[in-house]
Structure formats: C-alpha cells, structure tokens
Homo-oligomer: A and B are copies of this chain.
Amino acid sequence: MPSQGLPRLSLAEWLVLCLLCEAPSHGFALTRLLAGDGELGQVWRVPKPVIYRALQRLEAMGLAVTVEVQPSTEGPARSLIDATNVGRKAAAGWLASPVSHNRDIRSELLVKLALLDRAGADPAPLLDAQRDKLQPVAEALEARLAEATGFERTVTLWRCETVAATLRFLDAMREPAAAATAG
C-alpha cells in the first residue's frame, strides 16, 4: 500500500521532490520551471521562496540531499540537489495515489498527471484509481441531493455537478486519441 505512511508535505514540496527524482537539480532551475511562464508553471506555479524553503525542508527530512556545489559558467555557484532513496520511494507512492477530495483535483491530480506526462508514464492506473475513489462519493451526493432542502440543496447540487464533471474528465482522459488525432 504505497499510499500509507507518506510524509506530510505540501503540494509544492511533493512537486519539488518529484522533480528532483527526475534528475538532480538546483533551486534556480526549479524556479524557472515552476514560474508562471515556465513549462510546469502553466499547470501549477510555485513562487520562488516556497521552492527554496521546500528544498531546505526536504533536506531536513532526509528526502533530498545536496550532492555538489557546482561552479556555474554563467553566474554564481549553484547547489545540485538530488532525491534520496527514501525520497524516491515517498515520491513514487504519492504520485500513484488518487486525491481524497474533489477540490484537490485541479491542484494535486493535475500536477500528478503533468509529472506522469513528463516522465512518459501511463496515467491510466491513476485515472482509474481516482475514478474508484470518487464514484461512491458521487453516488452518496446524489442520494443526499434527493432529500436535501433549503440552502443545503444548493450546496449539494454544486458538489454533485463538480464531482460529475471530474468523472467525465477522468473518462475523457482514458480516450486520448479522440482529439489528439481526430478523424
């Protein structure tokens, strides 16, 4: 059960750790990747101070380690940081886990899908696991909607629609050919 016993990290910290697992890197490179106009920043941006603090925290937790201080040809020296084996295992477990709440789909699930996409990995297992997790939630909400009155009905209706939208999204993601090579 890789979803058990994961350390409690913020989304930014998980994201940074996963990027270190792709390849050893340093703060400045990560800030460019995760800036608003960066490659991953289109999906989820992480401000500079948060990245450097994440690196410090990951090191303090033994999930990452500074392997070398590289003299750069184009500026000051930079600290190359790599994930540890503990860090790699934690990252792999996190990456494979569906999110618990629908509100975290936009942030956490999309980040996981983006990371899998970068790695060229198959997103299908994660998509299926996420579907299995949300399907019962959707059913419970619809049951509740049938009975809800007053403003609780409004909130429940909203939750029903958004969970249903997530399920449709997950289904559509299972058929990538449809629009990628339409016809």
Interface residues of A (CB under 8 A from B): 42-43, 103, 105-106, 110, 113-114, 117, 145-146, 148-155, 157-158, 161-162, 164-166, 168-169, 172-173, 179-180, 182
Which 6 residue pairs are nearest across A and B when measured between Cβ atoms?
Answer: A165-B165, A161-B165, A161-B169, A117-B151, A162-B165, A161-B168
Chain A contact surface mostly: helix
Contact of A149 among B158, B162, B165, B180 (CB under 8 A): B180
Question: For the complex, what is the distance from the CA of A168 to the CA of B164, rounded to whole Å?
Answer: 11
Let me know if B172 and A161 touch, CB within 8 A.
Answer: yes
Give me 30 A-to-B residue pairs in the complex whose CB atoms sit less than 8 angstroms apart, sorted by A's number.
Answer: A42-B151, A42-B152, A42-B155, A43-B151, A43-B155, A106-B158, A106-B162, A110-B154, A110-B158, A113-B151, A113-B154, A114-B151, A117-B150, A117-B151, A117-B154, A145-B179, A146-B179, A146-B182, A148-B179, A153-B180, A154-B173, A157-B169, A157-B172, A157-B173, A158-B169, A161-B165, A161-B166, A161-B168, A162-B162, A164-B165
Residues on the B chain within 8 Å of A153, using CB: 179-180
What is the chain B residue whose CB lies nearest that of A180?
Answer: B149
Q: Which of A103, A149, A154 has the most CB of B within 10 A?
A: A154
The smallest C-beta distance from A66 to any residue of chain B, in angstroms, reads 30
The smallest C-beta distance from A127 to any residue of chain B, in angstroms, reads 11
Residues on the B chain within 8 Å of A155, using CB: 42-43, 110
What is the chain B residue whose CB lies nearest that of A150?
Answer: B117
Question: For the complex, what is the distance from the CA of A113 to the CA of B151, rounded to whole Å?
Answer: 9
Residues on the B chain within 8 Å of A113, using CB: 151, 154
